[in-house]
């Protein structure tokens, strides 16, 4: 047989079918290595900028969150400090004092008015006149001398008998 | 070369395993024969062929289409695998120990014993040649590849391949007659 013809007959050689199937299955199941792309200088710079900006933004976010409460105290229309129990107590005490003071003023006025009105309502007309005169006299005396003269018991009774 | 091979290779590069499966189905018998004639033993030929395709699949992203069939790249990988194999196992393989049963496949059980013995004798003679002569005989005379493809697979000029094939066949005849 011619050598070249014999060599052509080598093409009939094949691997075992079981081997072919097993080998094919193993190779296909094997994870292919992914190609690592080569980066240009511009791409490296761009990626650096991307990374840098994300870090800066993340830092800014953390600052805003951390400082948000203290900044909010000045900026928010609702003053959170008014929720402070001590402040509320002080405020409440101040209101109480003001109420008491206003009550005192009111009571003084009421007392004065009732003092004036009571003799006028209870005494007779002549007595009323006398009281008025006595009051006027007392006023005149107070205006003329700084030290009023003390009245005796009898004089006082006389005054009242008139 | 498979019909639409370029597209199949592109799909394989993109990671489509079924596309690489098509390439495997078409080229596995050729690579297996190439390796078997060079190493003689079936088990080792199977292991090396498996390694060739595994390496091709892992590194397929590096493959660049230059107008040659995908097989040119596979043959280059196979040549390197065989070189590495002999580098590690040098002296371990005796050329006189080729078993004719090596050439019997499940599909060819009816192969004549005389032919198997003839295969074993020629294989022994081929293995006594220089690696370049071995390659050119397998690619040009067994696989019947055109000179252009053999040149691409062996990374040599077409003129060099013509010269090599002439010398290789002459040496093989001399070896067989000796």
Give the phi and the psi of residue B93 in degrees, each rounded to 5.
-110, 125
Residue in B69, B75, B72, B73 with CA at minimum distance from that of residue B4: B69
Among the candidates A83, A105, A134, a domain finishes at: A83
Whether the CB of A46 is below 8 Å from some CB of chain B: the reply is no
In a domain, A129, yes or no: yes
Whether the CB of A38 is below 8 Å from some CB of chain B: the reply is no
pLDDT at residue A72 tops 90: no
Contact A15 B25 (CB under 8 A): no
Q: Which domain holds residue B19?
A: 1-93
How many domains does chain B contain in total?
1
- Where is pLDDT greater, at B74 or B95? B74
pLDDT band at B33 (very low <50, low <70, confident <90, very high): very high
Contact A8 B137 (CB under 8 A): no
CA–CA distance, B35 with A160 (Å, rounded to integer)? 152
How many domains does chain A contain in total?
2
Look at residue B88 in the predicted model and tell me its pLDDT: 82
Look at residue A44 in the predicted model and tell me its pLDDT: 85
Of A13, A17, A27, the CB nearest to B53: A27
Look at residue A138 in the predicted model and tell me its pLDDT: 74
pLDDT band at B46 (very low <50, low <70, confident <90, very high): very high
Are A138 and A106 found together in one domain? yes
pLDDT band at A151 (very low <50, low <70, confident <90, very high): low
pLDDT at residue B60 tops 80: yes
In a domain, B99, yes or no: no
Q: Which domain holds residue A61?
A: 46-83
| B103 contacts on A by Cβ (under 8 Å) | 13
Q: What is the DSSP string of chain B?
A: --TTHHHHHHHHHTT-HHHHHHHHHHHHHHHHHHHHHHH--HHHHHHHHHHHHHHHHHTGGG----SS-HHHHHHHHHHHHHHHHHHHSTTT--GGG--GGGG--GGGTT--HHHHHHHHHHHHHHHTS-HHHHHHHIIIIIS---HHHHHHHHT--HHHHHHHHHHHHHHHHHHHH-
pLDDT band at A75 (very low <50, low <70, confident <90, very high): low
pLDDT at residue B43 tops 50: yes
Are A77 and A60 found together in one domain? yes
Mean pLDDT is highest, among A119-123, A152-156, B38-42, B135-139, for B135-139
In a domain, A4, yes or no: no
Whether the CB of A144 is below 8 Å from some CB of chain B: the reply is no
B171–chain A nearest CA distance, Å: 12
Which of these ranges, A74-78, B93-97, B160-164, has the smallest mean pLDDT?
A: B93-97
In a domain, B105, yes or no: no
Helical (H) or strand (E) element with A121: helix A85-122
In a domain, A110, yes or no: yes
pLDDT at residue B102 tops 70: no
pLDDT at residue B95 tops 50: no
Task: Quote the longest CA-to-CA distance of chain A.
Answer: 178
**A14: region left, alpha or beta (phi > 0 left; psi from -120 to 50 alpha):** beta
In a domain, A131, yes or no: yes
Are A74 and A109 found together in one domain? no
In a domain, B137, yes or no: no
Whether the CB of A34 is below 8 Å from some CB of chain B: the reply is yes
Mean pLDDT of B34-63: 91
In a domain, B155, yes or no: no
Whether the CB of A25 is below 8 Å from some CB of chain B: the reply is no
Among the candidates A54, A83, A112, a domain finishes at: A83
A42–chain B nearest CA distance, Å: 24
């Amino acid at each position: 047989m011619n050598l070249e013809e014999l060599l052509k007959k080598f093409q009939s050689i094949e691997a075992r079918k079981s081997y072919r199937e097993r080998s094919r299955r193993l190779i296909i199941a094997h994870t292919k290595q992914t190609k690592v792309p080569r980066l240009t200088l511009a791409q490296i710079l761009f990626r650096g900028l991307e990374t840098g900006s994300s870090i800066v933004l993340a830092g800014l976010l953390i600052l805003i969150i951390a400082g948000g409460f203290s900044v909010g105290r000045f900026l928010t229309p609702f003053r959170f400090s008014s929720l402070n129990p001590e402040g509320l107590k002080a405020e409440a005490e101040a209101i109480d004092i003001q109420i008491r003071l206003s009550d005192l003023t009111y009571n003084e006025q009421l007392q004065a008015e009732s003092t004036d009105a009571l003799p006028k309502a209870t005494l007779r007309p002549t007595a009323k006149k006398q009281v008025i005169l006595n009051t006027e006299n007392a006023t005149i005396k107070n205006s003329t001398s700084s030290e009023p003269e003390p009245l005796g018991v009898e004089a006082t009774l006389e005054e009242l008998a008139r | 070369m498979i019909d639409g091979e370029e597209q199949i290779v592109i799909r394989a590069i993109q990671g489509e395993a079924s596309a690489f499966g098509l390439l495997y189905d078409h080229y596995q018998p050729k690579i297996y024969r190439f390796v078997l004639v060079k190493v003689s033993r079936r088990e080792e030929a199977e292991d090396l062929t498996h390694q060739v395709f595994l390496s091709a699949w892992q590194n397929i992203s590096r493959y660049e289409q230059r107008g040659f069939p995908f097989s040119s790249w596979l043959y280059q990988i196979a040549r390197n695998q065989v070189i590495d194999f002999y580098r590690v196992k040098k002296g371990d393989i005796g050329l006189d120990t080729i078993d004719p049963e090596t050439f019997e496949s499940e599909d060819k059980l009816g192969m004549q014993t005389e032919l198997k013995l003839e295969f074993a004798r020629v294989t022994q003679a081929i293995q006594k040649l220089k690696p370049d002569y071995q390659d050119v005989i397998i690619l040009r005379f067994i696989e019947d590849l055109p000179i252009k493809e053999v040149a691409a697979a062996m990374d040599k000029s077409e003129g060099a391949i013509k010269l090599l094939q002439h010398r290789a066949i002459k040496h093989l005849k001399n070896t067989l007659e000796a």
